[in-house]
Structure 1
């Protein structure tokens, strides 16, 4: 967890700097200027949530194992906002005998709310316990032995395909698996296991056509159906896909007959062929693969 602790320290120092920067803005700028900056800050938070918070582009900007921490900018943006509010509060009140006491209470309340929300977003993926797994393989596929470790099992298979030994339990630990695995956690586990090897981790997004035209190498895909209406009824009623529950599977290659060779960590399936229609319906346009490092 050294990388996680380092990420929290970095985030904490940057948050402290931004708080004092915001406080300076709140104290020195004209009040109307502070309002404009605060509104811009709120809009920036909205843009971050809408376009960047869960975007795979973060892995390109911050290609570190602690991406799950340093890619979470809520503490930074909320520290800047909280600093502006704390700097502005003394300028809005009328000085009375209890002015300073009320001022401190309001500032403390702003700090508790903004920092509480910001840091909860950071530590929430770290809360809980890692599922207890066993080490079951069928051929080249690591089988998931709990209902929450499909990503960890797929990661073990992907690494073994590249000659890196591991197992489901180790990957569940490294990927920060709790009641499932975030893609940033999967990225962490793979980054840690490939450190010092010829391999690096690539997170990609795109359509089924992009996958077909891209490298035909083993990859982990995020799949599922967001709602019952987003797929023909046969997928939920006969094939067992639960609306809103996402799953990790392995993509191997497109076959000459047009089908796709897939790997399933589910013990009752293991390997199967999907049609292109299956892929278009189930693929959630996000995946992870290992690529050779430059110059190796």
Structure 2
């Protein structure tokens, strides 16, 4: 846990207490009907849930700990708990039970990103780590596609990292990895190399023009995309999956580092169908920009040659 992590947790706690005080004051000054209270709860939670963990926050709060700074759920739940203390429709044990439940939920969301790997660890035995295949880090657990894809992206910039190390810094659990968790892991792993992660364009056709490849992209793969051998990795239809987009070939194919199966190619139609709009690339500063371009270019050419050779066999 870094100092910034601690600062972000304390800031979230402060916002929660502020939300509690604001909710109590508003509830005392205005008679809040049960219907209005219910509407506030539902709308606030839906809005917070919809924005939770989105890469949008990495643009607004470009920090490794954006996953904590952007965690507004505790403040909203505490505000709602404060409001519940004066809602006329809550009587007897309903009021303390509602307030207590909201406080418990706020505490769970407060430590959520940090606690997820402890509550539901993505356990991989020492003998089960798969490793690398043709420059692609393969996932060793159905839920570790994010760290594996991040390791592949880092290797494209000549940074050595492992799926195991990134699982810890990305807060990966059995439930997967949040996009802001990926952003955190990439930030911490690339800082010493003069690189900084940033969200890539939601339009994949802009990536090459903007210099945003290679990147880690979040895609959705349904049953129709599986040949049966992938079902053990992807699970239910339309499950989110992380891949490394390595570049685009001269004939318009996307070269993909899929942590579930290795090096593959997608057509642009497949990319447009599967891409969710969230991707992270690494941007070098001016002092190392030319060196990283040269390294990435050589690696990409070697991977294209490797894939072409295998397909021609």
TM-score, with length taken from structure 1: 0.79
User: Does the CA contact (< 8 Å) of 2:52 and 2:71 recur in 1?
Assistant: yes
CA distance in 1, matches of 2:22, 2:135: 54
Deviations 1:42-99 (A, max 9, x none): 534433334x22432111122222222332211111111211221x25x789xxxxx9
Structure 2 counterparts to residues 1-296 of structure 1, below 5 A: 1-2=1-2, 3-27=4-28, 29-31=29-31, 43-50=43-50, 52-86=51-85, 88-89=86-87, 102=92, 105-125=93-113, 126=116, 127-132=119-124, 134=129, 136-179=131-174, 180-211=176-207, 213-225=209-221, 233=224, 235-237=225-227, 240=230, 242=234, 243-266=237-260, 269-293=261-285
Distance 1:69 1:201 in 2: 17
CA deviation vs aligned residue, 1:144-191 (integer Å, no higher than 9, x gap): 222222211111121222232211110111111112212121111112
Q: TM-score, normalised by structure 2?
A: 0.75
| Structure 1 partner of 2:310 | none
Task: Give the secondary structure class of the aligned counterpart of 2:239.
Answer: coil
Q: How far 1:238 sits from its partner (Å)?
A: 6.4
Number of corresponding residues: 275
Is contact 2:150-2:244 (8 Å) kept? no
Q: Tell which structure's C-alpha radius of gyration is larger.
A: 1
Mapped to 2, the partners of 1:6 and 1:135 lie a distance apart of 36
What RMSD in Å do the two structures reach over aligned CA positions? 3.1
Q: Which moved more, 1:151-160 or 1:114-123?
A: 114-123
Pair 1:137–1:43, CA change in 2 (3 A): closer
Could you tell me how far apart the structure 2 residues matched to 1:189 and 1:65 are? 8
